[in-house]
Structure 1
Amino acid sequence: MTRELGAWVLSVGVLMGISAGSAGAEDLPIRKAGLWEIKMAHTGSPLPSLTMQHCTDETVDREMNNMVSPMAKQICSRQDIQKTANGYVGDSVCNVAGISVSSHSEISGDFNSAYTVTTTSHSDPGGKSAPRDAVTTIEAKWLGACKPDQKPGDIVMPGGGFKLNVRDAEKLKNLLPGAK
């Protein structure tokens, strides 16, 4: 499960980094405080589908953006997000562990009750293996207040067996691919 969480953090991190990375770009709205159920499905990727819960508030969402933004600025040569009539569209080009990843994301929803992010990506490992196209869909819905044993930032994996707070940067760093 920790590898899945690391992949999720990287996916969300790059998406959030897009909003803070380019001058003049739109900022994504802050999610409504409380408990969110987040379902991630992948096509064309070895990552498994997964559902988790994330307890958040305005401070945590802003901290996640600020935590990821410096990393995104270092690894991404392009980060852009624009508001559209239906939500937001984001494009990025990043180099993750020597692999060039170009992504296009479409984001819709109100960030108060539900939102959806569909990301189409093209990964090119530069001759190490064949390029790969993948689609990741994130469907999130607000469940209500966080549970009594949760605090803002807590991510709970399926089955309730693994819990991590996003504010614990050292643990997150160790979950990311290529971390030592």
Structure 2
Amino acid sequence: MRVSSKDFASTVISTAIGVAVLLALSACGKKEEAPPPAPAPVVEAPKPPPMEPMPARKPGLWETAYSEEGSDGVAPVMKICIDAETDKHLGITGNDLSGDKCTKTAVSRMEDEDGKPYWAMIAECDMGSGGKTEINGKFIGDYTSNYTFTARSQTTGAALEHMNRVVNITVKSRRIGACPSSMKGGDVIMPGDVKMNLFDMSVVPPEGQ
């Protein structure tokens, strides 16, 4: 069969139009690809609060009560005559002269959720045959005259097995006035009116001796 040039041209045009329509429909059916997500902004890790030394306790007569979680009865209260030299060597719990044995100590001034300040402390203390003690706790109060210290204390490597333990402690300490004339720095009055001196019981000599 002979096809005229006019019919051939018409067929080519119709085919081209059909292909164009199919391509257009195909393009309409495609979803636009979402642009790639923007790179996440670089957020610097918060810097730890700067370490800050604890203030000194005011000289005078202090009452200190030490208790352990789970212990029965009322925490015993001891009275300590604190002067500058005694304060320098007092341990973290404020009832002995073990402060010089805690060589790895970090203290920072912090604020709780309500904006109230406190002192956060992490310490490692080498107590010799008494083992190594790690303490993690906080001081609430002005520290110079009245504070409460709560902490988790873990001791390992002690010669006496029962000393190797983990315990939660609470220490409440406050200045109640000047030391009486009968007491000097380091003097302690225990429950039952038992009297002793912390320097006499320690290898730490008072200044000048």
Give the TM-score taking structure 1 as reference length. Answer: 0.63
Distance in 2 between residues matched to 1:59 and 1:98, nearest whole Å = 24
Alignment partner for residue 43 of structure 1, among 60, 69, 94?
A: 69
1:100 shift after superposition = 4.3
Specify the code of the residue in structure 1 equivalent to 2:79.
Q
Specify the code of the residue in structure 2 equivalent to 1:161.
V
TM-aligned CA distance change 1:98 to 1:144, over 3 Å: closer
CA contact (8 A) 1:44 1:132 kept: no
TM-aligned CA distance change 1:133 to 1:69, over 3 Å: closer
User: Helix, strand or coil: the match of 2:199?
Assistant: coil
User: Helix, strand or coil: the match of 2:102?
Assistant: helix
Matched, 1:104 2:130: no
TM-aligned CA distance change 1:36 to 1:91, over 3 Å: same
Distance in 2 between residues matched to 1:119 and 1:36, nearest whole Å = 20
Alignment partner for residue 161 of structure 1, among 169, 172, 194?
A: 194
Deviation above 6 Å: which 4+ runs of structure 1?
A: 128-131
String of CA shifts for 1:9-63, please: whole Å, max 9, x gaps: xxxxxxxxxxxxxxx74221111121111001112579x9421001112343125
CA contact (8 A) 2:101 2:125 kept: no
String of CA shifts for 1:119-145, please: whole Å, max 9, x gaps: 11233459x689632111110121111
User: Helix, strand or coil: the match of 1:84?
Assistant: strand
Distance in 1 between residues matched to 2:163 and 2:202, nearest whole Å = 29
Alignment partner for residue 172 of structure 1, among 184, 189, 202?
A: 202
Could you say what the CA RMSD is over the residues aligned between the two structures, in angstroms?
A: 3.3
* Identical pairs, percent: 25
1:98 shift after superposition = 6.8
Larger radius of gyration between Structure 1 and Structure 2? 2
Matched, 1:90 2:116: no
Distance in 2 between residues matched to 1:98 and 1:52, nearest whole Å = 22
What are the ranges of 5 or more consecutive residues in structure 2 without an aligned counterpart? 1-49, 92-96, 112-116, 204-209
Specify the code of the residue in structure 2 equivalent to 1:139.
K
Give the TM-score taking structure 2 as reference length. Answer: 0.55
CA contact (8 A) 2:105 2:123 kept: yes
TM-aligned CA distance change 1:160 to 1:130, over 3 Å: closer
Specify the code of the residue in structure 2 equivalent to 1:146.
C
Q: Which has the higher strand share?
A: 1
Q: Which has the higher helix share?
A: 1
Specify the code of the residue in structure 2 equivalent to 1:37.
E
CA contact (8 A) 1:44 1:134 kept: no
Distance in 2 between residues matched to 1:130 and 1:40, nearest whole Å = 17
Pairs aligned (count): 141
Partner of 2:150 in structure 1? Answer: 118
Partner of 1:149 in structure 2? Answer: 182
1:152 shift after superposition = 2.1
What are the ranges of 5 or more consecutive residues in structure 1 without an aligned counterpart? 1-23, 174-180
